[in-house]
A and B are shown apart, each in its own frame.
Chain A
């Protein structure tokens, strides 16, 4: 077999192992998908009436405000779901590295990156399942996207790409973490970033420093792109910026993760 064929075969094997882990211990997946659903309900029903008032012209009722706010925050909640999956991945990677089986893998002639690739693929699958559940809940709450088939595909593609980028980052953070507890804390920041961007309010309403951060952090162009695609609006330059961020994060993080994996020594 060629090196590429070996890499694909070994990654597929490791991916099957990853899927079995996720299926056998669904508690974490349920928790990771549950959190964004709770946020969605909280923001729509508790804050939505008031926060949505700024989105509709004139003096619309609380119901109309709530509906408008739902439409506004769905993309942010979807990306929060992707970030939550990455958070879980960092924990899974850190846990996996404490297992003796990783040492066994290292004594076998298998594609070196296959363990990490499997974690990334597992994370993306988890993220997209979460996205499907959150979208389902949003539709049940009255979310009515105006996207055509192409826009849907593009939106899913952007979210998948973002999931790949965050998954590689999470794998690197999981490898860098000194303990499983550390691994669960650091990437938590990722799930907060939608709040410090265009996920839940228009950044134009923020104070200067925060507004600048919100405008230039990666969640904002990705959120804007998904929002435009689902809302049937023109995407503009945000798509290009979003893709650039994703590719950049994925490339740097995968290099970092691979180096960490190669260098990590047996401690016992």
Chain B
């Protein structure tokens, strides 16, 4: 099955986006030995938006982030990050980006406060400004009480919060988050999402990778689906989902008789007598729903409840790659 609108790359126009691209990559290739990890990746992220690189384990997400953040040199490709040629001027890129990796990039022997002060010193903020910034971030990430505790004694969620706080010390305008919520409990995950939304509200551009479809759905303006080293689709989550067939409206009735009559009345209806439901292909448009309800009313049928199901990104992923995402690690 091929989805029609999903040619690559599609440049997203979102309400939030403003300026030029914060990240632009073309033809990025990377192989480790004979294993091709990235096989010509093109992508573009508009300033002030959230881009989610979505894919299963081993798709090449982390490799892509490592290349963009100057940790790895690609075999080929043209890359511009925050207006700087990534390959020719890595230090110019390093000055303006922030990175929170998949594995916690904190110094476990130091305390939370010392970690933040270390970042402030390396950003050359000066003593007073550094102390102020550290205090501010400890407050913002709810780490004040743990400020003087060695990070080795922090919980996973606290380490992740400190990690992000350290990234923010230099007030970067472009932040890379490699699987920011992998391994977090649901509550820490929501806290992380809130922090990300707060940053976006402040105009920061976010490039995140995730294997969780709902995370991309929740946060991203634009999703790029990476599979086996290639971007197989790019688009806003809504658009990706809308492009797929499979949306339907589910009506529930009080008795089996109504189910049969409704099924006979509505085109393409499928009924489930046990659950007393009827599924009608369609979407969430008001015109469609009004028509549907009018026909039921005209026939004297009264539905107990109505639910709208859109295709989710799981369906999108399956449709595009022919295999499901890895979901066994999903919290």
Contacts and interface: CB of A to CB of B under 8 A. Distances in A.
Interface of A: 1, 6, 9-10, 13, 16-17, 20-21, 24-25, 99-101, 103-110, 265-266, 268
Contacts of B69: 107
Contacts of B82: none
B80 to A, nearest CB: 17
B66 A101 contact: no
Contacts of B122: 10, 13, 105, 108, 110
Contacts, number: 64
B72 A266 contact: yes
B124 interface: yes
Interface string B180-196: 00000000000000000
A101 B105 contact: yes
Q: Report, nearest first, the 4 A-B pairs whose CB atoms are least far apart.
A: A104-B105, A100-B105, A109-B94, A13-B121
Contacts of A268: 62, 102-103
Contacts of A6: 124
A99 B107 contact: yes
A106 B102 contact: no
- Categorize the interface residue count of chain B: 20 to 34
Given A10-B122, A13-B122, A109-B95, 9 more contacts: A9-B121, A17-B118, A100-B105, A103-B105, A107-B69, A107-B71, A109-B92, A265-B72, A268-B102
Interface string B61-90: 010001001111000000000000000000
A37 B62 CA distance: 49
B71 A101 contact: no
Interface string B99-140: 101111111111000100010011110000000000000000
- Residues of B contacting A: mostly: loop
B23 to A, nearest CB: 14
- Residues of A contacting B: mostly: helix
Given A108-B122, A266-B72, A103 B94 contact: no
Contact of A107 (B94, B102, B118, B150): B94
A268 B72 CA distance: 11
Contacts of A106: 70-71
B214 interface: no
A1 to B, nearest CB: 7
A21 B109 contact: yes
B43 interface: no
B259 interface: no
B91 interface: yes
Which of A10, A16, A103, A104 has the most C-beta atoms of chain B within 10 angstroms of its own C-beta?
A: A104
Nearest to B170: A108
25 contacts: A6-B124, A9-B121, A10-B122, A13-B118, A16-B121, A17-B110, A17-B118, A20-B109, A20-B114, A21-B110, A24-B150, A99-B108, A100-B105, A100-B106, A101-B105, A101-B107, A103-B71, A103-B101, A103-B105, A107-B69, A107-B71, A107-B94, A108-B170, A266-B71, A268-B103
A16 B101 CA distance: 24
Nearest to A110: B122
A159 to B, nearest CB: 28
Interface string B248-281: 0000000000000000000000000000000000
A21 B150 CA distance: 11
Which of A17, A109, A110 has the most C-beta atoms of chain B within 10 angstroms of its own C-beta?
A: A109
B97 interface: yes
B103 A100 contact: yes
Contacts of B118: 13, 17
Contacts of B70: 106-107
A105 B71 CA distance: 10
A16 B107 CA distance: 13
B66 A17 contact: no
A106 B170 CA distance: 15
A13 B71 CA distance: 22
Which of B69, B72, B108, B122 has the most C-beta atoms of chain A within 10 angstroms of its own C-beta?
A: B122
Nearest to B70: A107
A133 to B, nearest CB: 23
A104 B166 contact: yes
Contact of B106 (A21, A101, A107, A266): A101
Given A1-B124, A107-B71, A266 B110 contact: no
Contacts of B94: 107-109
A182 to B, nearest CB: 22
A21 B108 CA distance: 10
Contact of A100 (B91, B101, B150): B101
Given A9-B124, A21-B109, A104-B101, A109 B91 contact: yes
Contacts of A16: 121
B107 A107 contact: no
Contacts of A10: 122
A99 B110 CA distance: 13
Contacts of A20: 109-110, 114
Nearest to A5: B124
Interface string B155-167: 0000000000010
Given A104-B99, A106-B71, A109-B91, A25 B109 contact: yes
